[in-house]
Amino acid sequence: MQTIYKYDLKETVLMPEGAEILSLQMQGGSDPRLWAKVDTSRPQVARRFEWYETGHPISDNPGLYVGTVQTRIGLVFHVFDVTGVARKGEGE
């Protein structure tokens, strides 16, 4: 069944395989949240995310851009889905 689920943004998030991320926002002054269209009949897989603050260096291959969030204290972070992205030193 297709539905939309909300997830707390963490370094690793379990969601159904093939989930389509729809939005990334702050909600009620809390931590960032992801909303994704999911097929609840699909198996759960781990999705990995990295975020970078404006003005700071980013990886050479930052992954798939998900969105930008602004914290209540004015910091701005840019979030990337790095699921399946090889990093230097991994798997060598």
pLDDT digits (tens, 9 = 90+) for 18-70: 999 999 999 877 789 999 999 999 999 999 999 999 999 998 889 999 999 99
> Which whole number is the average pLDDT over 6-12?
95
CB 51 within 8 A of CB 83: no
- Confidence category of residue 72, pLDDT binned at 50, 70, 90: confident
Count of domains observed in the chain: 1
Integer CA distances (angstroms), 87 to 3, 16, 20, 71, in order = 32, 24, 23, 28
Phi/psi at 53 (5° precision): -80, 145
Q: Look up the domain containing 40 and give its range.
A: 2-81
pTM, to two decimals: 0.86
Say what the pLDDT of residue 86 is.
64
* Sheet with strand 2-8: strands edge to edge: 2-8, 32-39, 20-26
Q: 89 lies in a domain?
A: no
